[in-house]
A and B are shown apart, each in its own frame.
Chain A
Amino acid sequence: MSSATAAGRPSTALRSEASAARRRRVGKLVSYGVLAAIAIIYVFPFVIAVVTSFKTDPDATQNPLSLAPSPATTGAFRQLYQDQDFLLWLKNSAIVTLSVTFLRVFLDSLAGYALARLRFRGRGAAFATIVAVMAVPGVVLLIPKFLMIRQLGMYDTYYGMIIPLLVDAAGVFIMKNFFESIPISVEESARIDGASIFRIYWSIVLPMARPALVTIFILSFQGSWNELAHFIISAQSSGLNTLTKGVAQLASGQLGVGNRYPLKLAASVLMTIPVAVLFFVFQRRIMNVSSGAVKE
C-alpha cells in the first residue's frame, strides 16, 4: 500500500507538471496570436499604401484592398516626378526640416542646461511657463501665430516657416531632466580644470547627453517633416509648398480627375521613407554614454 502511494505521487506530480507546461504553451500561443493580429491591423494600411502606389488607376479603384498589383507599374512615381512639383516640395521640406531639427536640438539643449544648472532669478517661473505651454493644444495657437508672423513681416518666407518651430516645450523639458541626471561632479571637475560654462555645456555635458539629443532629433525631424497646419498659416505661395502641403493638395482631390489613389499613395510612401530611415539609423545610437563617468 505504502509502495503504491509512493509510486503514485511522482506520477501525479509529473502529470500536473505536464499539464502546467501545456497551459503555458497555449497561453503563449494565444498572446502571440493577439500580438500578431494587432501588428497586422497597424501595418496593413501601410502595406496597402505601398502596394497601391504600384497599381494602375483602374486596378486601384476596382481592387482597392488587393495585395497583388495587376499589372505592377511605377507609373504613379513617374507622374509624380513629371507632372507635379514633387522635387520642389521635397527641397522645401528638407530645408525647413533640417533647419528646424538642428537648431531645435541646439536651442532645446541650451535652454534645458540653463534651467537644470544655472541659478538665476525667475528660473522656476520660466520652467513653470514652459510646462504650462505643453498643456496648450497647438491648434489654439494657430491664429495668434499667424498674426505674429504677419506682423513681423515673415509671412510667406522660409523664416516664418522655420523660426516659430525652433524651440519646443517638450524638448526643453526632456533636456532639462536629462541634464539633471548627469552627476554634478563631472561638471565641477571641468570647472576646476578651467572650462567656462559654455565649454562645459559644449564639450562635456552635450556629448554625455547623446541619448536625449537623439530623442529630440528624431522627434523634431518627424514633427517638422510631417507638419502641416503651421505651413498652411505661414506661407501661401506654391513655391514654398512642402511635401505635406503638396500631398494634402493631391489628397484633397484638386487634380479633379478620378481618385488617382496610386499617385497620392506614391507621394505618401516617398514621404515616409526619410523618417523611417532616420529612425532605424538612430535607434541603434540610443545608448548610455555616461557609463564609466562616475562610480555608480
Chain B
Amino acid sequence: MAAITFDHVSKTYGDGFRAVADLDLEVHDGEFVVFVGPSGCGKTTALRMIAGLEEISEGEIRIGERVVNNLPPRDRDVAMVFQNYALYPHMTVAENIGFALRMRKVPKAEARKRIEDTARIIGLADHLDRKPRQLSGGQRQRVAMGRAIVREPRVFLMDEPLSNLDAKLRVQMRAEISRIQRRLRVTTVYVTHDQVEAMTMGDRVAVLRRGVLQQFDAPQRLYERPANLFVASFIGSPAMNVLEATIERNGDGLVGRIGADTLRLPDARPALAGYAGRKIALGIRPEGLDEAAAGSGGRLRGVVRAVEALGPEQLAHVELEAAPVLAEDVLEGLVDLEEARDLAELRTERDGSPRALVVARLDASSAVRPEQTVELSVDLGRLHFFDLETGASIGE
C-alpha cells in the first residue's frame, strides 16, 4: 500500500485545453478517496495521470516515495477498473483475472491459487471457465474488480465502475466494493459523477470543477460545511436551496431579509457583520425547512406547488416571494437537470416580484397539499452563507 501525492499537477492538452489545474492533494495510505464532479471537471484525467495513461504537463505525482511522472503504467504497481469493464472477450474469467499474473511470470501453481482466492472474494468461484459474454453486467464488473484484486497492487484506481449497472445492482456493488476495500486496505481512488456514491463510499471526497479542486474533505464535512456555492449545490439530494438575502443590523444582532420575510441570524457568525447592507447567498438544506409550528423562530411564507411522497418523508416544492441565486456556481452544481430548469423558469418575475422554488423535506404525516399557502420554519443553526460575488462560504 502507498500514499498518492498530487504536487501542483496540471494537465494541458495540445489544443490548449486545461483539464486539470494545479491539483494539490494527498491520498493517505489505505484511504478510499473519491474524485467527484460534473462531466468535464477533470476527475478522470486526474485518475488516468495516476495510472500513467495520460502524461502530466506540470507538477509531480508520487506513489509512496517514488515520483511516477515518467514511469510506464506497468511499472507503477497500480490496478484499474474501467467504466466499461474492458474485459478480454476471448479469455475465460480465470484467464482474465490471471492475465496480469501471466505478464509478471508468476508460477502457474501460485497464479492458480491466487485466481481461485480472488474468485471467492468476488463471488465468482463457479464461473471461472465462462467467457465474459456469458456473464451478466454485475458479474462482468466483478471480474473487472477481480482482475484488480489479484494483482495485490499498491493502489486501486476505479473509473466510474458502477455507472453501467442498473440502480439496484449499483447499490449492491457499492457495498461490495467498500467491503473489499476495507478488507484489503489498498489505497483507492474512485472516480464518479454520482454524489451519492461519493458520499457513501469515500473516506474523503475531492470535489472538482473545471479542473480545479473545490474542496477535499470527509463526506459529512462537505455536506455540513461546503467551501463554496458550487460544492453546496453539488453535494446533497435534493440540492441545497439558495436564495438571495440582504443582511441588515437589527439592534445588537443581524437579520437576513428574504423577499418579504425576515430571519434573525445566529450570533455565532461574526464574519457576517461585514456584509451588513449587502446581498449574500443564503443556503438552506431541505431538512432545514419544516412546517411552522406556533411560536417557532424564523419563518418563510410560500405556496406549495408540488408534493412528492417518498414513503418515509415528503418533498414539498414551495414557491417563495424571494429571489433565487442563479449564479453559474449553483446551476453547474445541480446534478438534477429538472432542478436547474425549475430554477431558471422562476427567473421570470410574477407581479413584479421575483419568485424562488425551494424544496422542504417534510414528515410523511404532513398534510400539505399543492396550491396551499404554508409557513415554513427555518432551522437557523443550519443556515449556510456565501459571498455572492466569489461564491465562497462566509466563515464563522
Contact = CB atoms under 8 A, between A and B. Distances in A.
B133 A208 contact: no
Contacts of A289: 89-90
Main secondary structure of the interface of B (DSSP, over half): loop
Interface residues of B, number: 33
B88 A192 contact: no
A199 B85 contact: no
B23 to A, nearest CB: 21
Nearest to B53: A188
B164 interface: yes
B78 A293 contact: no
A190 B88 contact: yes
B89 A295 contact: no
Interface in B39-91: 51-53, 72-74, 76, 78-80, 82-90
8 contacts: A189-B80, A189-B86, A189-B147, A192-B53, A199-B103, A208-B90, A289-B89, A291-B132
A217 to B, nearest CB: 17
Given A292-B132, A293-B87, A294-B87, A192 B79 contact: yes
B274 to A, nearest CB: 51
Given A292-B131, A295-B140, A190 B99 contact: yes
B186 to A, nearest CB: 15
Given A185-B84, A294-B84, 14 more contacts: A188-B82, A189-B88, A192-B73, A192-B78, A192-B100, A193-B74, A193-B103, A210-B90, A292-B89, A292-B135, A293-B132, A295-B83, A295-B85, A295-B164
Interface in A274-296: 289-295
Interface residues of A, number: 23
Interface in B119-162: 131-135, 137, 140, 147, 151
B104 interface: yes
Main secondary structure of the interface of A (DSSP, over half): helix
Contacts of A294: 82, 84-87
A195 B84 contact: no
A229 interface: no
A204 interface: yes
B100 A185 contact: no
Nearest to A290: B89
Nearest to B104: A194
A91 to B, nearest CB: 35
A105 to B, nearest CB: 17
